[in-house]
Amino acid sequence: MTSASFAEPQVMADLMARMLWEIEAVHFSPDEPYKLSSGLVSPVYIDCRRLISFPRIRSTLMDFAAAKIMAEAGFEQFDCVAGGETAGIPFAAFLAERLDLPMIYCRKKPKGYGKNAQIEGHMPEGARVLVIEDLTTAGGSMFNFIDAIRNAGGIVKHGMALFYYDIFAEAGKRFDNGGVDLHYIATWQNVLAVAREKKLFDEKALDSVADFLDQPMAWSKARGGVDALPV
């Protein structure tokens, strides 16, 4: 395991936001917004999968993730790390290496043949599992994996998202009701702060993004998108 750097959370958040801009993983387009699979119309889009292609950045982020987990959850609280199909799998491998833990991964659905497994790898009954994804919006996909791991006999009390939208009230309720503490490094507010600092867009565009982050459903509805996330 690489020794974790216990930097201040705000420092880690700011640095991750800068990394995301540097590798062009973040896009702002308030005039021609994106329509997401949920039906939400959004002026922002992020592709955290790009992180795996930049070794220095991904290594630093794994140091940050390990430090966050140990500081917030504890040093000896997990028996393995689980990644969700597909984007979470490489990050589970990277983080498991950092934490000196075994790794498993979870399919979105049982594979439908052979042993019909949904969990791949060795997970003993009662194993304490840390679930990681590259990002989470409202927690829906993460809980799909959490439920599968719990149904297979694992114990999940913590989740890790490298990036967390942190704009939907439903997300906080979902994690609270599901008995899971969510840990994360950066949010959209951190990304917006870097964009303002570096003057990457004009003030009108930045203000429109800020309006979306404050009231995402109202912003989406006003532009023909959904006004509620799917349950």
Per-residue pLDDT tens for 68-81? 999 999 999 999 99
Give the chain's mean pLDDT: 94
Q: pLDDT at position 2, please? A: 47
Task: Domains for the chain: give ranges and CATH numbers.
Answer: 9-221 (3.40.50.2020)
Please write the tens of the pLDDT for every residue from 12-21.
999 999 999 9
pLDDT in tens, 121-169: 999 999 999 999 999 998 999 999 999 999 999 999 999 999 999 999 8
Q: Which helix (H) or strand (E) holds 100?
A: none
Higher per-residue confidence, 111 vs 203:
203
DSSP, collapsed to helix, strand or coil, labels residue 42 as: strand
pLDDT by residue (tens digit) across 24-70? Answer: 999 999 999 999 878 899 999 999 999 999 999 999 999 999 999 99
Q: Strand 80-84 vs strand 103-106: parallel, antiparallel, or unpaired?
A: parallel
Query: Tokens in use for 17?
Result: 């936001």
